[in-house]
Copies of this chain bind each other. A is one copy, B any other.
Amino acid sequence: MIQGTLFQIDSETPWEDLGNGIKRQIYGYDDHIMLVKAQFDAEAVGTLHEHHHSQVTYVESGVFEMTIGKEIRTIRKGDGYYIPPHEIHGCVCLEPGMLLDVFSPLREDFL
């Protein structure tokens, strides 16, 4: 699997409405990596879950209460986090904003 275009332009990229105040755009990917933009309304909840992928995230905007394993922190624009494979994680959106989630390998379940 591979992204069909080298460039992803915000205004040309469809949003997928996931319900409950969360929507996402799929950006660059191949078998090894995938970048996803996830927009959260205030009070939207990313329920606790785990997956075999490594994940790195950047807070592009907003404020989130983020849980990773036993750690809970309030993070905001400019911060980020790392999620080891199979570590349970989730978030609550305190102020509307966007997370940039990047996975390795590809999240085939998103396509």
Q: Interface of A with B (CB < 8 Å)?
A: 2-3, 5-11, 27-30, 32-35, 37, 54-58, 60, 66, 68-69, 71, 73, 75, 78-84, 100, 102-105
B9 touches A82 (CB 8 A): no
B32 touches A81 (CB 8 A): no
B residues within 8 A CB of A57? 28, 35
Cα distance A75–B12 in the bound complex, in angstroms: 12
Cα distance A81–B5 in the bound complex, in angstroms: 8
Cα distance A29–B82 in the bound complex, in angstroms: 7
B28 touches A75 (CB 8 A): no
Query: Would you list 13 pairs from A and B whose C-beta atoms are within 8 A, ordered by A residue?
Result: A2-B82, A6-B83, A7-B80, A8-B81, A9-B75, A9-B79, A10-B79, A27-B58, A28-B80, A28-B81, A32-B104, A35-B58, A35-B102
